[in-house]
């Protein structure tokens, strides 16, 4: 196998957070805090995506726990699990350039609820975001955050 260098890490930029989807958000927060001594940094809500969550950890938080307020979204993404690794978030220097490069490689994008394919980043809290559709990125979702 031939290595292509460090192209993807340079494209993805700095790791921002690891996100876990939970069926019961408050229980998951208590369990993560008990297991890993992670402080709550901030809670958030994104009603337009039926989304609520919390960041845990040092600084701005490097663990995100979230859930949906619509049962159908939870069931579709979580299945029978209580908590599941959902995505990893990266801060990229130029989200438009990163998205263009990934699109050339067949990657498609969506919002956090994965209901609709998106062609432009979403503005959330002063930062632009996109999530990859898992079927286009090795069955994994990656969140890109940038200007």
Which pLDDT score is estimated for 5? 52
Q: Please give the pLDDT value at position 60.
A: 81
Interior CA angle at 77 toward 143 and 37, to 5°?
A: 65
Residue 109 confidence (pLDDT) above 60: yes
Give the confidence band of 59 by pLDDT, cuts at 50, 70, 90: confident
| Average pLDDT value for residue range 101-112 | 97
Averaged pLDDT for residues 93-120: 96
Confidence of residue 58 (pLDDT cuts 50, 70, 90): confident
DSSP conformation letters of 48-60: GGTEEEEEESSTT
Interval 40-56 mean pLDDT: 96
Cα–Cα distance between 94 and 114 in angstroms, integer? 22
pLDDT tens-place string over residues 72-98: 999 999 999 999 999 999 999 999 999
Quick: pLDDT tens for 2-24: 555 554 457 889 999 999 999 99
**pLDDT of the residue at 90:** 96
The pLDDT mean for the chain works out to 93
Q: What is the DSSP letter of 37?
A: -
Residue 110 pLDDT > 70: yes
Whether 30 contacts 110, CB under 8 Å: no
- Going from the N-terminus, what domains does the chain have, and what CATH number goes with each? 7-146 (3.10.180.10)
């Amino acid at each position: 196998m031939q290595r292509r260098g460090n192209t993807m890490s340079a494209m993805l930029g700095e790791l921002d957070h690891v996100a876990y989807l939970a069926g019961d958000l408050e229980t998951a927060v208590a369990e993560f805090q008990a297991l890993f001594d992670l402080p709550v940094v901030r809670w958030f809500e994104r009603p337009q995506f039926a989304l609520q969550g919390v960041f845990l950890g040092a600084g701005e938080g490097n663990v995100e726990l979230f859930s949906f307020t619509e049962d159908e979204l939870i069931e579709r993404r979580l299945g029978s699990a209580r908590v599941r690794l959902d995505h990893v978030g990266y801060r990229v220097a130029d989200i438009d350039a990163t998205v263009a490069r990934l699109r050339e490689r067949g990657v498609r994008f969506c919002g956090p609820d994965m209901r609709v394919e998106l062609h432009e980043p979403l503005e959330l809290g002063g930062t632009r975001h996109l999530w990859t559709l898992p079927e286009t990125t090795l069955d994994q979702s990656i969140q890109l955050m940038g200007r």
